[in-house]
Amino acid sequence: MKKLLALLLALLMVFTLCACGKNEDSDKADNGNQGTTVQDDNSVPDGTATNDSSKDDEGKEETIVGKWTGKLDMWGVTEIVLENSDEKLDDALVEAMERLYKGVTVKLTLEFDEAGEVAMTQALSAATEDLVDNIEENPDILVDYLTAMLEAEGVTPEDFAAVEGVSVEDYVEQLCDSDQISSFFGEAEDMTLSLEYKLSGNKLSMVDGSTEEIFTIELDGNEMTFVDYTSSNSALSAEIGAAAFKGMTFKRK
């Protein structure tokens, strides 16, 4: 059980920028330019927007250099992964999973420097804490989840009680009383990815080797919104990324 829970918690780490599997096509060289981003003669310094719509009230070009924070919906990404998985889960398990993860978010920090590099940090440890808080407030969420997961594997609650010596309800209660919920989910460490970026007009490109993620952004002072997303990753990875990032808003600290 712990393995599956830890796997689901790691989905956001697996299916965010450049953590997905690479597109098979990207392994093929293309005129010796694999992994590069083509710029035209009007290219500008990294981090500086060029179109009029990205200028402030005084007509100055806006920059994305600095630290930005936003939140990624954990259930939204998990749902897309489950819908496109070759292995279909029981409806009762999916419903229980939704109750478990709904409302849990992962804080993302994007820190752009002037040299064309961005560090993206995913606060998975804080997401785990939110998940634990939800369960401690309503233990029935975890009871329903574990029951559905057991039944999906052909194990009845009675079988579980016979092996563990306690019912599912008592098992969850013991976890909550002994503050063992966090250890039940395993240790989730924060993850930082280092990427190269280019900003041309309202197109923000983030590159890691042969993988390129392109975001259409809207800048409004210290607020940045991702209004569209494309990726050189596989079709599934691109679909998951679009579901996760489109409409996401970041605020600059």
Q: What is the pLDDT of residues 157-199, one digit of tens each?
A: 999 999 999 999 998 888 887 767 766 666 667 888 899 999 9
- What are the two backbone dihedrals, phi and then psi, of residue 201, each rounded to the nearest 5 degrees? 65, -125
Tell me: the pLDDT tens digits for 81-138?
777 777 777 888 888 888 888 888 888 999 999 999 999 998 877 888 888 888 888 8
**Token digits of residue 31:** 């005129």
Tokens of 93: 């398990």
In 3D space, the residue among 133, 62, 75, 72 whose CA is nearest the CA of residue 101 turns out to be 75
* Burial zone of 221 (CB within 10 Å; 0-12 exposed, 13-18 middle, 19+ buried): exposed
Q: How far is the C-alpha of 251 from the C-alpha of 55, rounded, in Å?
A: 17
Distance CA 199, CA 205 (A): 6
Which has the closest alpha carbon to 90: 21, 31, 144, 50? 144
Q: Could you tell me where the beta strands, DSSP code E, fall in 113-162?
A: 117-123
Q: 242 vs 25, which has greater pLDDT? A: 242
> CA 90 → CA 79, 83, 95, 97, distances in Å?
13, 12, 9, 11
In 3-state terms, what secondary structure has residue 1? coil
Over the stretch 26-85, which tens digit does the pLDDT of each residue have?
444 344 444 333 333 334 344 544 333 345 455 556 789 999 999 988 887 778 777 777
Domain limits of the chain?
2-21+44-252
pTM summary value: 0.67
In this prediction, residue 52 carries a pLDDT of 34
CA distances from residue 250 to 19, 32, 219, 247, 253 in whole angstroms, order as listed: 20, 36, 10, 10, 10
